[in-house]
Amino acid sequence: MTSHGKSEAVKPDKKMNGTTRKSNGDRKAACTTPAAGFNHLFGPVPSRRLGRSLGIDLVPFKTCTFDCIYCQLGRTIKKTTERREYVPTREILDELTRCLASPHGAVDFCTLSGSGEPTLHSGLGRIISFIKQKTSIPVAVLTNGSLLSDREVRQDLARADVVLPTLAADSETVFRCVHRPNPSLTFARHLEGLVRFSREYRHHIWLELFLLKGITAMEKNVSRMNLIIKKIRPRKVQLNTASRPPCENFAFPVPFGRLSQLSKRITGNVEIVAENEQQFRPGGRPASGRRIAELILRRPCTVEDVAQGLSVHAAEASKILAGLVGSGRAEVCRRSGKTYFKGTTAA
Ligand code: SF4
């Protein structure tokens, strides 16, 4: 999940859950932007997959079932499959109540994602239900899909409007190499969970097909993955690669032209979500170092990402980012010709 990080702009569907939602404009008018001082909400992040996404972080940095070589958050600190209340559900609900009560921004999705794997949080179902009661903004869950074989996880996800699991392997060997999973997880269990979930879930699955140069970007890999995709039958396949600075420098991105070639081997509604930058017009809202530090801690961003996501002027974003680097709260990384700012754990 980056990756839970493309070439056509990805817009939220107007029809979800079989019912027509408010128009995009209506939905945006009804949403919010978290101010500084929230511990579990961040952004909105300019998401290549979800438009403007209000992030809701359910686990401490970085708690995950996997330790993917392409992860933009760095190495996994706590690798586990244990579901529990990693952060108090009450705190998350309180922050959501405050944030959703004072609308002054524009958000396309409330997205459960952030510092690790959100399905590890045992309050997941309650949190999704709470958001659904409070707002008409669609709820999305970015997940690596590793716990979908667990019936309780599938039940918790049932009320989300869209679930975005990841498929990045075509064999047990590649699964171990790319995801470096908790030892109790296997590729067979991963697939079983994905297929089982796809049969039970009544809303939209947008499957992230994540490819890496030299590992899974060959026809034979993609053909094998396509057999899996045919069983899952997702509403969309979002083809992605390691565009942002990865955990390991041997996780190479697949060039766009190659992604385009490989996309032709995939059945269904395929969109390339790599290398697509959403355009948001800065609204001139004041930025704070803390908000920006919280954002880049969860996702490496360019100056433009920060400016667009937080609706601040690029010059102001640039100045604050330079200050964060100077104080050791951020570091600079180059990737695919772009400059990214990545939060340090000191932020
Ligand atoms: S290590 Fe976890 S958070 Fe990072 S990309 Fe993999 S699944 Fe996502």
Q: What is the pLDDT of residues 129-171, one digit of tens each?
A: 999 999 999 999 999 999 999 999 999 999 999 999 999 999 9
Distances (CA, A) of 40 to 47, 67, 92: 18, 22, 6
Residue 44, preceding peptide bond in cis (omega within 30° of 0): yes
Q: What is the pLDDT of residues 196-213, one digit of tens each?
A: 999 999 999 999 999 999
- Find the residues whose C-beta lies inside 6 A of ligand 1: 1-4, 64, 66-68, 71, 73, 76, 116-117, 144
Find residue 141's DSSP bridge partners.
112, 163
- Residue with CA closest to ligand 1 atom 6: 68
CA 67 to ligand 1 centroid distance, Å: 6
> Residue 87: exposed, middle, or buried by beta-carbon count in 10 A (0-12, 13-18, 19+)?
middle
pLDDT at 34: 56
Q: What pLDDT was estimated at residue 231?
A: 98
Q: What is the pLDDT of residue 314?
A: 72
pLDDT under 50: residue ranges of the chain? 3, 5-32, 104, 276-284, 347
- Ligand 1 atom, smallest distance to 70 CA: 5
Kindly give the distance from the C-alpha atom of residue 68 to the centroid of ligand 1, in angstroms, as a whole number: 5
Question: Are the C-beta atoms of residues 124 and 157 closer than 8 Å to each other?
Answer: yes
Inter-residue contact 169 to 187 (CB < 8 Å): yes
> Of all atoms in ligand 1, which is nearest to the CA of residue 116?
3
Cα–chain center distance at 326: 28
The preferred substitution site among 121, 144, 210 for testing ligand 1, maximizing ligand atoms within 8 Å of CB, is 144
- The partner residues of 116 in beta bridges, in order of sequence, read 63
- Ligand 1 centre to CA of 215 (Å) is 17
pLDDT at position 28: 41
The confidence score (pLDDT) of residue 284 equals 44
User: What distance in angstroms lies between residue 304's CA and the mean position of ligand 1's atoms?
Assistant: 24
Distance 328 CA to ligand 1 centre (A): 24
pLDDT at 281 (0 to 100): 40
Q: Whose alpha carbon is nearest atom 3 of ligand 1?
A: 116
Q: Relative to the CA of 4, which ligand 1 atom is closest? A: 8
Q: Pick from 57, 63, 65, 73 the residue to mutate for probing ligand 1's pocket: most ligand atoms within 8 Å of its CB.
A: 73
- Alpha helices by DSSP H, listed for 180-255, are 187-200, 219-232
Span from the CA of 190 to the centroid of ligand 1 (angstroms): 14
- Residue whose entry in the numeric block shows the structure tokens 């997205």: 111
Q: How remote is the CA of residue 19 from the centroid of ligand 1, in Å?
A: 32
CA of 166 to the centre of ligand 1 (A): 10
How far, in Å, is the centroid of ligand 1 from the Cα of 15?
29
Sequence-distant (≥ 6) Cβ neighbours of residue 36 within 8 angstroms: 288, 290, 291, 294
How far apart CA 159 and CA 168 sit, in angstroms, is 25
Atom of ligand 1 nearest to the CA of 3: 5
Beta strands 338-343 and 330-335 are: antiparallel
Domains and CATH numbers, the chain: 15-278 (3.20.20.70), 288-347 (1.10.10.10)
Helix axes 172-179, 187-200, angle to 10 degrees: 90
